Structure 1
């Protein structure tokens, strides 16, 4: 029997370490349960990270540019439309079923897609030659919904390949206001119903798809980031030493989102970003005094050339600037670190205070408890913390400001005191979570074998 060929589609940039953790975990998962298969992957952001070769070093994995990059980089004149836009072309049929793409890409969308096909664009070629596709799904945010749905639709509607999405969340469809200004809900429902399976990572989204959108090709599993492997601890410490940083115990890891998050989710957050930064700095100073800890900022996003002020590293700099105990606070440069290396770094911490769900997952993998600060409307994050038995350590960013600050201080103090208990709880939950993650790979294996 010939080896199966599976093409993975990574719709979000790997410059976000959390998204990269999803992708690497999925590769680890598939190679474990389908060892006799050849993998290729289309990655948005491919070529933007110097650590990509270390990040994706799984055997003979073939790396391709993302589907959207292929289209965006295929610029042609409007006068070329006739050459590439014949009525019988596959992309004409594709676009006729997805009218929102014309809105997303404008009048050149048809020509751009056709040009990619005509030139045998790398990612489209890999999909056409595969036995099936796995969309490494992403939370469907209002502003990026059309882009993700485009990635979902290509393998099934353009190439008629078996297509599975995992892991996925749809909180934007559930909570998004003004979603119709981006894309009509019927488009989302149409595309999702075309998939062979949709593997959800938490129950909120699973129930919503079945009950509200009447999409029944769904399975409940867990986030593939739980299949992330940690790297050699000593090598991680050596890398920190090169930055002039030494881990001193007790240690608190902190990840602060940039201002862009507060702008995007302002309808759920009732505190200004500047006020949050000032109060968080004061809380960390107080914790340093009470617990004699060192604070290590571990950003999950560092985009040195793109909207710098909007991401985690910028948030860390702002908090650090406001702190009094600067000698006890350290900002780690994670730009060249893989998700596995970040997990190994977190293993040296005693507790994690984070605004990134996948950092909480990394912490759980290495046995370090965490508190997660996000709005309660973030279904995927709240669901993940519940699955870890840490729902009491989910700090709702939508509460009144005084309550948020009180909860942060109390939960970090409580977490330091209860570390052994919290670790036992997480350790008891992880085997079940990994079994749930494996559901996705088993479904994929059955589909490919058919």
Structure 2
């Protein structure tokens, strides 16, 4: 089939290999586009074009960070639609970078569709103003959770906002065999608990920087001693490796811990999840992967998106990660372990509905793509 006859879709998010959750979203979006519109050409805006070309050889890739307005505008002019998202990209100081590209599309009469994106915290004047003005002209605004809808509404976005679910919920696993476990030094025949920690930063503004390494070290020791389990730390970003080792350094049972160091694809981490007996973690997509495999889990909600996901799957969640929460946290882990059949049953019962909600994002998008009606050009805005 001659792809030049089909539409060209730009995909703009935090893509380029820095975060396995974002790459899971991109993989899911591209899978859906290939399946439903094989005549379409995908053009991915990447923060690391080399990484994206290597992992997605059948798509076009362009860099955009650090580029001036005109070259980006020329790329955008080729598009039939710009897909903004998914993932948590609209937050203070970062949102404006993505919204500038979306504004260039609107100036060129290219329709903009927001794809199950995440928003918040969104409080600065510049980011809120750009969100209001840009999303007012989007053909459809979809977000992945209620927390994101609330963040956009509080920023002043007046357009209808549709809540769907994270695109990564549609991912299919790749095998993570026992040979791969052995290569990471993970023993066979023992209980295995997966843990995930992350760094503090703009997207984790409520994280207790002073205490959470020590708190999670107490938790790790508890898991080893209470469950007679080995603990594997699963980094979703490369910097997570450093924070994982920081936790292990405070543990008495460090010899029962391993930190994954391999360069894995999102589907492989989803495959790894089937080996886990319990998952305790901070990053959203680590928890999504565990839930998709029916693993009992305890989210550590450093941000509203994690708390929102915990509520949607019926998992317990403690607000915040603070030193004073050590006692309640250990008690909650103990309870989840004792009640794990019920937790597994509840999670397995709710995941299909979330997957169906995630699929509706693609349905909305394909409906707009089939129309392929250029929007009215939006005048350039000085920011």
Length-normalised TM-score, structure 1:
0.75
* Cα gap change, 1:29 to 1:184, in 2 (>3 Å): closer
Q: How far off is 1:12 after superposition? A: 4.7
Q: How far off is 1:35 after superposition? A: 4.1
2:114 is aligned with 1:165: yes
Q: Is the 8 A contact 1:142 1:172 kept in 2?
A: yes
1:137 is paired with a residue of what secondary structure? strand
Q: Is the 8 A contact 1:29 1:438 kept in 2?
A: no
Q: How does 1:190-339 map to 2 (within 5 A)?
A: 190-210=133-153, 213-234=156-177, 237-258=178-199, 260-261=200-201, 265-266=204-205, 268-269=206-207, 271-273=208-210, 275-302=211-238, 311-334=239-262, 336-339=263-266
Aligned to 1:419: 340
2:299 is aligned with 1:372: yes
Q: Is the 8 A contact 1:11 1:151 kept in 2?
A: no
Aligned to 1:94: none
* Cα gap change, 1:284 to 1:3, in 2 (>3 Å): same
Q: How does 1:26-425 map to 2 (within 5 A)?
A: 26-47=29-50, 49=51, 53=54, 55-56=55-56, 60-62=58-60, 64-69=61-66, 71=67, 112-114=68-70, 124-125=74-75, 127-139=76-88, 140-157=90-107, 159-173=108-122, 176=123, 179-180=124-125, 183=126, 185-210=128-153, 213-234=156-177, 237-258=178-199, 260-261=200-201, 265-266=204-205, 268-269=206-207, 271-273=208-210, 275-302=211-238, 311-334=239-262, 336-375=263-302, 378-390=303-315, 392=316, 394-397=317-320, 401-402=323-324, 404-425=325-346
The RMSD of aligned alpha carbons is: 2.5
Deviations 1:354-399, CA, capped at 9 Å, x for gaps: 1101110111112212211123xx3322222222121x2x22116x
Length-normalised TM-score, structure 2:
0.87
1:397 is paired with a residue of what secondary structure? coil
Distance 1:136 1:188 in 2: 13
Range 440-449 or range 354-363, more displaced: 440-449
Q: How far off is 1:211 after superposition? A: 7.0
Distance 2:39 2:245 in 1: 46
Q: How far off is 1:414 after superposition? A: 2.0
2:17 is paired with a residue of what secondary structure? coil
* Cα gap change, 1:438 to 1:370, in 2 (>3 Å): same
Distance 1:231 1:338 in 2: 9
* Cα gap change, 1:359 to 1:264, in 2 (>3 Å): closer
Q: Is the 8 A contact 1:351 1:412 kept in 2?
A: no
Deviations 1:324-362, CA, capped at 9 Å, x for gaps: 11221111114x101111111121011111110111011
* Cα gap change, 1:7 to 1:212, in 2 (>3 Å): closer
Deviations 1:215-255, CA, capped at 9 Å, x for gaps: 22422211111112210232xx3333333333543111111
Q: How far off is 1:407 after superposition? A: 3.0
Aligned to 1:18: 21
In our comparison, the structure showing a higher alpha carbon Rg is 1
* Cα gap change, 1:209 to 1:315, in 2 (>3 Å): closer
Matched length? 367
Q: Is the 8 A contact 2:48 2:63 kept in 1?
A: yes
1:244 is paired with a residue of what secondary structure? coil
Greater helix share, structure number: 1
Distance 2:158 2:131 in 1: 10
* Cα gap change, 1:191 to 1:282, in 2 (>3 Å): same
Unaligned runs of 5+ in 2: 372-383
Unaligned runs of 5+ in 1: 72-111, 118-123, 303-310
